[in-house]
Amino acid sequence: MTDAVNQTTGYSSIKIETRGRVGIVTLDRPKTLNALCATLAEEVLQALKEFDNNPTIGAMILTGSEKAFAAGADIKEMAEKGFSDMFIEDYFGAWDEVPRVRKPIIAAVSGFALGGGCELAMLCDFIIAGENAKFGQPEIKLGIMPGIGGTQRLTRLVGKSLAMELILTGRMLKADEAKQAGIVARVVPDESVLDTAIEIASTIASYNLPAVLMAKEAINRAEEVGLTEGVRFERRLFQAAFATEGQKEGMAAFLEKREANFSGR
């Protein structure tokens, strides 16, 4: 199915908006519960990169609709493809670029986050979920398996045992179980998911941008290297934070008992 192109943004499967220093990308394919087609992947990447390069933006939100964050990769688009198609197109390869976005991305999840939808939420830096959100990797029911990092990221988040159970059965987790398992940072009433995400993103975007970027990079490094190397990496970035205007401003504001006003440098 081809989605209509928005004449202002040029996008057909997402909407973009800004709230102060927060950039919001909304998945917008309601007829397919925001199924992740190849066009949507390209558009999400383009929008995230543009916000990342925009100096007026300090943090981003990726969200969907009330019914679905995303119900997975687009089954209709994939159904007739063979191995050569998937391999030559490097199908899903575009999603590997999400972790290269340097500013924080919050996933604001209402409704279904299934298959690629769950994987996309986990590709973001953390997840705010509505109380009726549902997470799962149901690919096994389609005769396939996760392909946007689910076997790796879910396992790192929840441990091997639960990851095995979820991926091998396709069982869905409700928001409270997803929170308990470590997939979700915070569960809030469904109607406040986006507002809560905007509030959190606005707070992050009000801080010293270089320190925010450094903290995100250091946390992500924890998944790549051993503890000694990770702490060494953190220490160098911590020391580097003292080369920023924001460190001078943040500490002066504390000592002068006033709000800090960060320049972003």
Applying the rule CB under 6 A, the residues between 7 and 46 that interact with ligand CAA are 32-33, 35
| Choice between 71 and 127, CB closer to ligand CAA | 71
Of 124-132, 134-142, 159-167, 218-226, which segment contacts ligand CAA by CB under 6 A?
134-142
| Choice between 150 and 250, CB closer to ligand CAA | 150
138 binds ligand CAA (CB under 6 A): yes
**Active-site option among 116, 117, 136, 149:** 116
86 binds ligand CAA (CB under 6 A): no
**Active-site option among 68, 71, 73, 197:** 73
Q: Is 119 known to be catalytic?
A: yes
Q: Is 165 known to be catalytic?
A: no
Of 49-57, 121-129, 136-144, 215-223, which segment contacts ligand CAA by CB under 6 A?
136-144
Distance from the Cα of residue 185 to its chain's centroid: 12
**Active-site option among 41, 139, 163, 201:** 139
Angle at the Cα of 18 from the Cα atoms of 15 and 21, rounded to 5 degrees: 150
Of 107-115, 125-133, 189-197, 227-235, which segment contacts ligand CAA by CB under 6 A?
107-115
Interface residues toward ligand CAA, by CB under 6 A: 32-33, 35, 71-76, 112, 114-116, 119, 138-139, 142, 146-148, 150
Q: What are the catalytic residues?
A: 73, 116, 119, 139
